[in-house]
Structure formats: structure tokens, C-alpha cells
Amino acid sequence: MNTYRIQENLPVDQWEDFLSQQPFAPFLQSAHMEKLHQELHDKTWRIAVMQNDQCVGVCFATLVTARRGWYLYIPYGPVIVPEHMDSLPQLMEYLKEFARKERADLIRCSPFVENTPENQDRFAALGFQKAPMHVLAEHLWLLDLVQDEESLLRGMRKTMRNLIKRAEKDGVTISTSQNPEDIEKFIKVHKETASRHGFTPYTNSYFRAQAKAFLPHDLGMLYFAHFEGKIISAAFIMYYGDSGSYHHGASLSEYNKIPASYLLQWQAIQEAKRRGKRIYNFWGIVPESQYQSRFLKRAHPWIGLSKFKTGFGGREYLLLHCQDLPLTKKYYLTRAIETLRKMKRGY
């Protein structure tokens, strides 16, 4: 049986070296996320699983103080080397003490592990249960970059290739920036997008903190599509570990007939390939089985965006559903409130 110890505040270089070498290394577990949340004045913890002096797992967590209940949240983590997953019970016992000291009602994690019976059983054995709602994307759409650009183009829908060419013909140009101050240009376009689709976006403070934490370290890029001297589409792409990730996107509805976003995505994919990334992660999609709401007689609002992402070619990768570990009786009130919210939203 393996023996482990838990270590807080592992040196950043050692943390990043470990995480960046893992398959599908999630940037949301990066040590740079600590800087992001410090900007937002959130409480955070970086906890490593060690075997002797070797890091075999990392867990970045933050305290969420929602009115419906406080919880210790682990975004796309913990990340543990598969052969050392037997350390998970010890790590969770350690996290329970943290959570109780912070008066948290639950531990919530969105593990970046495949949704298999083995992984379901592993978390259930520790007392976890499926959360009422997902927090991060769980139905991912991944594009394999270990192929040449001609193969990538052939793998797209024909209409996608035509729209990329049309955008160029229409005079759309793409610029990029790693200047954190340019996040204001993105925020301006994103505000209109959120209003149009009626969703609750990340706060402007979050966008600014993310730009400040990642862009100066060459771990992300802002993309802007210009048409007739105006920014009509924008994206915040992350380049971390073996992946490029389409994390945030925005566009202006008045220019929806100009296929700027298609050209923007293609250039972001090309950049990921130039950087030697293995995967381009389009982030979340809506599976066809969920196109129609189970609770309300209406279509899911993200069908169009999902068709846009899948049109570039690729495959679905299903993550384990968000997991909750109850710590107090108040958790069940939190669960009831979130269940009602899910039914109200219709998806």
C-alpha cells in the first residue's frame, strides 16, 4: 500500500511542473488561479499529495460564500496521477478539516476525469453524491491537433471551411493581444452577448483578474475580429499544458451575418498547433439528448453555439458530473434551492 503525505503551498515551480505534464492539464488547477482569486479577495488553498519528495497530485480549492450555503470548491480537480488515486481518501479527510474550520456546508468538486463507472464508484465510496447542477462544462468537445492543417480543414463541415474563406473575403481581420488592459475591449463585446442570451456572465472583475494572472505568462491570448474598423467578435483562449481552450467568447448580434467567429476560431486553433498542443478544447456543448428542456417546453439556448463548435470536427469527452460531499444539515437546503433553480432554468 502506498504511503502519502499532504503538503500545503508547494513551491509554484514544482506545482506547475507537475500539473503541466498531466494529460488534459486543467488551467483552473494552476497556481496562477491563486493569483486570480487573490485579486478577487477570495480565500484559496493549494494542497499537494506527496509520495516521499515527489508530487503525485495537486488540489487547488477556493471558498465560495453563497447565500444559499458556503462551500469549498475544487474546479476541475483534484488532479492526481492515476496510479496514485488511492491517495484520494486521505486528501479528502484533510480537506474536510479545512472546510469545517471555514464553516462550509459541503465540499464541491468538478473532477476533470472521465465519466466511467469506476470513477463514479470512487467518489461515491467517499460519501460524495451528484450535485444538483453542474458548475463547469462537463460535455466537452475536443479537437485532436496531432494532424496537419489540411486534415483539420477536411475534418470540418464543408460549410465551416466556406465560412472561414468568406470571412477573409469580406475583409475580416484578426488581431491578438496579451496586454491585460485589452480585456476591456473583450468585456465591452461580452456585455452585449450576455444581454442577448440572457445568461449570468462572469463578473468584469473576474475577467480582469484572469487576464492579469495568465496573459503576462504567455498562458492565454485575447483574439479580436475586426470588420470595417470595429471589433465585432472576441475570444479569450487559454494555452496551458497540452491544450488550447476556448474559455470565453463574445460577438455583436448586428454583425451576425459576417462569419468573423469562424475565422477567429481557426486562427486560435492554428496557434494552438504552432505551440505544440495536443488538444483544442472547445469547452462545453449541449448533447443532442438535451436540446429540448426536460422541465420546460423550449429548446436549450446553447444549441446554436454547440453546432458552431462541433462543426470544426472533433469528439465529445464526457466528464464525471459535479460532486458534493455534505458536511452539515444545511447542505440539504442548498441542494433544494439549486434543484429548483435548475428546473426554473429548464436545463
How would residue 337 be classed by pLDDT, with cut points 50, 70 and 90? confident
Cell numbers at 188, concatenated? 465591452
pLDDT digits (tens, 9 = 90+) for 273-289: 999 999 999 998 887 66
Mean pLDDT of the chain: 92
pLDDT score, position 340: 85
Cα of first residue to Cα of last residue in the chain, in angstroms, is: 43
pLDDT score, position 193: 77
- Cα–Cα distance measured from residue 294 to residue 137, given in angstroms and rounded to the nearest whole number: 19
Domains recognised in the chain with CATH numbers:
5-136+319-345 (3.40.630.30), 139-318 (3.40.630.30)
pLDDT digits (tens, 9 = 90+) for 81-113: 999 999 999 999 999 998 999 999 999 999 999
The mean per-residue pLDDT over the stretch 173-193 comes to: 95
The mean per-residue pLDDT over the stretch 321-334 comes to: 93
Give pTM, 2 decimals. Answer: 0.92
Cell numbers at 208, concatenated? 480582469
Cell numbers at 310, concatenated? 462541433
131 Cβ contact partners less than 8 Å away, ≥ 6 residues apart: 108, 321, 322, 323, 324, 338
pLDDT score, position 284: 86
pLDDT digits (tens, 9 = 90+) for 290-314: 656 565 566 665 677 888 999 999 9
The percent of residues above 90 in pLDDT, for the chain, comes to 80
Please state whether the peptide bond connecting residue 75 to the residue before it is cis, i.e. omega within 30 degrees of 0. Answer: no
Residue tagged 469547452 (cell numbers) = 283
DSSP 141-199: EEEE-SS-HHHHHHHS-HHHHHHHHHHHHHT-EEEEE--GGGHHHHHHHHHHHHHHHT-
Of 1, 24, 25, 3, nearest to 15 (Cα)?
25
292 - beta bridge partners? 299
- Cα–Cα distance measured from residue 278 to residue 298, given in angstroms and rounded to the nearest whole number: 37
pLDDT score, position 301: 58
For residues 191 and 248, the answer to whether their CB atoms sit within 8 Å is no
What Rg, from alpha-carbon coordinates, does the chain have?
21
Residue, of 179 and 191, whose pLDDT is higher: 179
How would residue 196 be classed by pLDDT, with cut points 50, 70 and 90? low
Residue, of 92 and 334, whose pLDDT is higher: 92
Q: Give the length of the chain.
A: 347
Whether pLDDT at 61 is above 90? yes
CA angle 301, 167, 144 (to 5 degrees): 65
Whether pLDDT at 326 is above 60? yes
3 Cβ contact partners less than 8 Å away, ≥ 6 residues apart: 51
Dmax (CA) of the chain: 65
pLDDT score, position 294: 63
pLDDT score, position 288: 65
How would residue 335 be classed by pLDDT, with cut points 50, 70 and 90? confident
